[in-house]
Amino acid sequence: MIFKNPVPNFIYMMYRRFRYLYLNDTTPVVASIKVTQRCNLRCTHCTWVNKVTQDLPLQRWKEIIDTIYDRGCFVIFIEGGEPTLREDLSEIISYIKGKGMGCVMFSNGTRDLPDADLNAVWISIDGTEKNHDAVRGNGSYEKVMRTLERYPEKNIFSMTTLSKTNTSEIESICEELSSTSLKGLIFNFMYPYKDISSQVLPREERVAVARELMGLKQTYPKIISSDSYLKTVGQPDKICYPWLLLLATADGNITQGCTVEPAEERNCDVCDMMCGLEATLGFELYRDSMKFWNNFNILSYVDIDRCPDWTLRMSRINRKLDT
């Protein structure tokens, strides 16, 4: 028996690519759920601040997670708002993990993290203390630093969204954050949503910043954004597969596709966000992008018993290999 359950993600992704290329299979791989739109901060670039709805009950989220599981996703990203405002957050995480899926949480890092078994936490850090507090509120940077001190063993990563306000201090950001317990530094580029388009870097500057980050990797090895992603920044012919993503908004609506579209119509020509691009590059089996995702302990192995078609095909291959 050559293929056993669970299988390494590289083999599974090769199989998924085969099905996409030859069978036009666009089954999603990754899901994002916005478990609340409530937040304890009022960030200047947030596009959801005036769209708060009542939280869905735990049972409804379990039903949504069941749907995501049935659709074929094997990792869920929990977003908000600020997810830690939900008192039942640990139950949501445990339900996801109980179904054999990976679970990563986005947070602003100003509150206690849940005790549940998260694969990773991404904390938004938008610059050095002065810039971060200008975006997220006075004292928010200090609270994030206290959170990192409180949970040194957790698999926590920073997510820095680059815009006109913070690109002048990229190296200072890397220097400060590299001295913390963070396991890695992730960089993203702001999307020009209508309300914040004036903060977005022009294409030429995005390209220059991406090249700067590639150069800084030698000095700051905690930078884990892949070179494959950074090389696509600003390029008109970049590949992005939005169908890899399944999205559940705070009102329970489930859609497959781009993360921009729940807020407004997408414009791929001006988008350099890492969420879709790193997912696409991983799906395309770029080695450094696969390594990027492996930092979060979510894609090491895939439960192939969830996919009857996979199990059937692999059993046939195994029988041929065993004879």
pLDDT, tens only, 169-187: 999 999 999 999 999 999 9
Q: For residues 268-297, give the mean pLDDT.
A: 88
Q: Which of the four pLDDT bands, split at 50, 70 and 90, describes residue 8? A: low
DSSP helix/strand/coil, 76:
strand
Specify the higher pLDDT residue, 295 or 9.
295
Q: Could you tell me what percent of the chain has a pLDDT over 90? A: 62
Q: What's residue 152's pLDDT? A: 96
- Asked if the model's pLDDT at residue 321 lies above 60, the reply is no
Q: CA angle 44-46-48, nearest 5°?
A: 140
In contact, 126 and 166? CB cutoff 8 Å? yes
Q: Tokens in use for 315? A: 């059993």
Q: Angle at which helices 274-283 and 287-294 pack, to 10 degrees? A: 120
Q: Which two tokens mark 248?
A: 């559940």
- For the chain, give the mean pLDDT: 87
Q: What is the mean pLDDT of residues 109-137?
A: 94
Q: Is the pLDDT of residue 12 over 90?
A: no
Residue 8 phi, psi (nearest 5):
-60, 145
Question: Structure tokens of 135?
Answer: 């975006």
The pLDDT of residue 112 is above 90 = yes
Calpha distance 238→289 (Å, rounded): 15
Taking the CA atoms of 225, 231, 236 and 242 in sequence, report the sign of the dihedral they define: negative
State the pLDDT at residue 14: 81
> What does the alpha-carbon distance between residue 36 and residue 210 come to, in Å, rounded to a whole number?
32
Confidence band for 275, pLDDT divided at 50, 70 and 90: confident
CATH topology of domain 7-322: TIM Barrel (3.20.20)
Residue closest to 232 by CA, chosen among 302, 279, 177: 279
The average pLDDT across 205-227 equals 97
Predicted confidence at residue 304, as pLDDT, reads 53
CA 230 to chain CA centroid, nearest Å: 16
- pLDDT-derived band at 197 (thresholds 50, 70, 90) equals confident
Q: What is the pLDDT of residue 240?
A: 92
Q: What is the pLDDT of residue 17?
A: 87
What tokens were used for 59? 């049972």
Tokens linked to 294: 């492996």
The full length of the chain comes to 323
What is the C-alpha separation between 258 and 56, in angstroms, rounded? 23
Beta bridge partner(s), residue 120: 104
- CA angle (229 as vertex; 223, 232 as ends), nearest 5: 135
The pLDDT score that the predictor gives to residue 47 is: 65
**Separation CA 25–CA 27 (nearest Å):** 6
Residues 221-249 have a mean pLDDT of 94
Position 206 scores a pLDDT of 94
Rounded distance between C-alpha atoms, residue 205 and residue 260, angstroms: 22
Of the pLDDT bands very low, low, confident and very high (cuts 50, 70, 90), residue 305 is low
pLDDT of residue 313: 44
**Does residue 156 carry a pLDDT above 70?**
yes
Report percent pLDDT > 70 for the chain.
87
Please report the pLDDT score of residue 309 as a whole number: 52
CA 217, 218, 222, 227 torsion-angle sign: positive
Q: Which two tokens stand for residue 239?
A: 């590949």
| Alpha helices for the chain (secondary structure H) | 9-23, 58-71, 89-98, 129-136, 140-150, 170-178, 203-216, 227-232, 274-283, 287-294, 308-322
As a whole number, mean pLDDT of residues 29-58 equals: 84
Evaluate whether 9 touches 292 at the Cβ level (below 8 Å). Answer: no
On the question of pLDDT at 258 being above 70, the answer is yes
CA distances to 16, 19, 94, 119, 316 from 23, rounded to whole Å, are: 10, 5, 34, 32, 18
